[in-house]
Amino acid sequence: MPFTADEAFNLLQSAYANNRLAHAYLITGPAGSGKRELANRLCALLLKEKITDLKHSDIHVIEPESKSRRILIEQMRELERNLHMRSLLGGHKIGVIVDADRLQPNAANAFLKTLEEPPGQSSLLLLSSLPDQLLETILSRCLDIPLRPVEARQATPLQTKLLHALQAHAQQERPGLVEAFRLVREFQTLLGEARETIQADADAALKAEEQHYKQTSEAGKWLEEREDYYKALIESRYVAARHSLLETMEQWWADALRQQAAQPAGELTSTLDQPTFAADTATLGTRHSTTTLLRKSDAFETLRQHLANPGVQEQLALECAFLRAFGE
C-alpha cells in the first residue's frame, strides 16, 4: 500500500528508534510523491544533523550522467569505493542512487555484491519512478517504500482517452473477446501516439542543437553523441508513458475492488483513484466477484513484470494481459 512521504518517514523513524532499519531501501512513486525529500529526511536521521538536498560529505549521490542518460558501471564502482572508505565525520555513510531504473545491466550486476554485503555503518537508498525496470535480484535485496502523490494528479490526455475507452467497455452488458481485442487495439494506438509525440519533441530538440553547433570542428562527433543521447531519451520517455497508462489500468480495477467493498455501494468517491468514473467502477464491483477482480488486476501486475524483460514482445504481452483482464 502506498504511503505519503510523512507516513513513510514516521515508520522509518520508528524502525530507527528500535534499531531495526534495513541497510537498503527502494523508494518508489510517481513524480510529486516526495522520493528525494524522503531520502533527504532519512539521511538527516542517520547522520543526526540537518541536510539540504542530499548535500553532505558522507552522502554519495549517483544520478544518470552519460550521454545515454544511463548510470554507468564506473559510477557504481566509485560509489563502492566511497562507501568502503572511512566516514569523513566518523559516522554513517549513505549511498543514494537517483533514477535507479537507469542502471546499465553491467552496473546493476556489479552493484549486487554491495547490496548483499554492504560496508559497515552504511546505508543504500534507491529512488525510482519505474521500479519494474530494475533487476529482480536488486528488488529482492531492498525493502520497498512505495509513495503516493500528496495531491491528486490530473490525468494526461492519453490517460483520459484510455479512461473513456474503459468506461465504454464497462457500460456494455456482456463484453467478450471481440471487445477485449478492440480495447487492446485502442491501448496500442495510445502507445503509438505517445511514441510519435516523444519522437517529434526529440527531433525538434536535436534540430535546434544542430543549428547551434554545426559550425564547430567537432560537429560530426558531437552529432553522433547527441543522436545516441536522444535515442536513449526517447526510449526512456516511452517506457514512462507506457508505465502511466498501465498505472491507470491498475487503478481502474483497484477502484472496482474499493467500490465492491463500499457500503453502500458507490459511495466511496473520496478514496477512489478515478472518482469521475465512480459509477462505472461501481458497476464492475457489482458485476464481478472479488476473486475475479483480483485476477483482472493481477493481469497488469504480471504484464509489468513481462515488459521488464527485454526479450518479451510488447504486442503479444499486451494481448495476453488484456484477454486475462477483459475476456469475460
pLDDT tens for 61-73 read: 998 875 567 888 9
With beta carbons less than 8 A apart as the criterion, state whether 186 and 322 touch.
no
pLDDT in tens, 238-266: 988 998 899 899 889 989 988 888 755 44
Q: Please state, as a whole number, how many other Cβ atoms lie within 10 Å of the Cβ of residue 129.
A: 17
Model pLDDT, residue 61:
94
Does the global pTM surpass 0.85? no
Instruction: Give all domains of the chain, ordered by start, each with its CATH number.
Output: 5-146 (3.40.50.300), 157-326 (no CATH)
Give the torsion sign (CA, 250, 245, 327, 304). negative
Inter-helix orientation angle 290-307/219-261, to 10°: 170
The rounded distance, in Å, linking the Cα atoms of 109 and 78 is 15
Among residues 177, 146, 121, 124, which one has the least CA distance to residue 8?
146
With beta carbons less than 8 A apart as the criterion, state whether 25 and 125 touch.
yes
- Cis before residue 264, ω within 30 degrees of 0? yes
141 three-state secondary structure = coil
Give the torsion sign (CA, 217, 221, 226, 229). negative
Q: Which long-range contacts (CB under 8 A, 24 or more apart) does 18-21 make?
A: 21/46, 21/123
Please report where in the chains the cell 520497498 appears, as a residue: 144
User: In this structure, what C-alpha cell is assigned to residue 223?
Assistant: 552529432
Under-70 pLDDT residues of the chain: 1, 66-68, 150-153, 211-222, 263-270
Residue type, 231: K
Cross-strand bridge partners of residue 124: 24, 95
